[in-house]
Structure 1
């Protein structure tokens, strides 16, 4: 399965957002992989401060369970000071609809 999402980082936190992901905690990387995530990339539109995330995972139901893990909650808390978040510190995230794919 694949999924694309939109989030938003604060205008003065672009570098910090990148730094935190460059230094992604090993336990967070392990968590994502253990819940079936095979690809995850994030791009930044510096003009609008929007983040575009692209994920590929084996099972959507399994991957959704990452939200209930201690390490994921800690990551959300860690990121809450630099991006738009919900009251539980999860990122404000909008699912995007695929409208085109060029594939083999």
Structure 2
């Protein structure tokens, strides 16, 4: 199953966001993989600073469901200066409805 959601990048933070994700923490990547999350891609619409994420899930868990894990909480804190966030540093995230898929 694939899920998609959008988040919001603060203006001028594209390169730092890209840099931090290029050096994603091994323990975060392992946590995602262990929870059935793979093929995780994030796109940026620079005209609106909207981040569009798509991920494949082998179970009913998404990365958005791992917020109680200390690794995820540290990542959120690390990324909070670049993104619009909730009071707990989690990214403000909006699920997106799939309206078309072509195999």
TM bucket (normalised to shorter chain) is over 0.9
Q: How many residues align?
A: 103
Matched-pair contact (CA < 8 Å) for 2:36–2:61: no
* CA drift at 1:61: 4.0
Which one has the bigger helix percentage? 1
Uncovered stretches (5+) of structure 1, i.e. residues with no partner: none
Matched-pair contact (CA < 8 Å) for 1:38–1:57: yes
Q: TM-score, normalised by structure 1?
A: 0.93
Which secondary structure state, in structure 2, belongs to the residue aligned with residue 71 of structure 1?
A: helix
* CA drift at 1:65: 4.5
Which secondary structure state, in structure 2, belongs to the residue aligned with residue 53 of structure 1?
A: strand
- In 1: Cα distance, 2:66 partner to 2:22 partner: 20
Runs of 4+ in 1 over 2 A off after TM superposition: 61-65
Q: TM-score, normalised by structure 2?
A: 0.94
